[in-house]
Structure 1
């Protein structure tokens, strides 16, 4: 509504009032939306001073042009009348004077009418130029607002796309993390189950029975007692074998000491 003229705005207010619902049991009272009507009146009030000032300026220019035209026309007519009177005063040229006076008066009227027509045309051109100037300014303002609107719309679109992309990346990372957690949990459960199975197998395995040996003779036992040196029973396990693991620990301790 801001792009319309004062006449269009007044006509729109009239149409709005005509379309309002009448009050119950009344033909002269109507029900109006106060905010909407006040908004139209406020906008009309804002445009009215400028429109009135432009009209006054156009009218002043028009009045000045018309006044100048009237002055020039009156001067021409006065001069023509004076000249005609002088010619009439001369008896011998009375007829010619009248003819000349009529011609001068006709020319004066034509010139005056031309001046008035030209003044009206110039006034109309001034008013039309003022309206075109106002329209151009309003068009510039509309283009600026439209450009700002398009820029802000594009900025919001880019921001939304960026946020959507970030959300997608976060959700993808969360999905990968859930997959890794599930795989790690499954792998840990399998490792625990395998360790439990191995421990159960070792705990349930029976100890091997010693191989039967032939009973040695008295002489062989005596010879073996003389030939074989005494061994430390601490290094022999329950199966009659030496504890190699303890020897390996001793070697590792010696390596650390070096």
Structure 2
């Protein structure tokens, strides 16, 4: 099922596709400033909700890890209690030590496996959510960049608004990938904008 922001992106694409070309031009189109402004305003309102939605998915990592830690601690506590019970049985002291060590080792290994699996699962959820958000923002970025390039020079106010929104999207992408360098994409878009 498509998200609301994806539906708005589709509407913007349909709107741009339906615009008429300027006389004697096969690349520049004529847009209705009020209509495109309304679409952009609605898109601007929807974007924070979509980002919060996927941030909630990412936050589930903490819940998964906490649940795994609780299970691991419960296993270790149970093993410790069982160990103490065995040690108190003097007539089978040696056997108790051997069994206790085996139980603690097994519980520790199982606890570590739970933590490892939970970490992998949480990271997979986080990466999938981040990739989906990045793809969605990249698609939106390309659409707005394309619309900016094709918009008539007579709509300077509209062009300024779209450039401002493009910067917001690029900032959101940068927050998703704080250690990655997006300068190459930014420079490419800036050159395209300057050319128009």
TM-score by length of 2: 0.43
Tell which has more relative contact order, 1 or 2 (C-alpha 8 A, sep 6+): 2
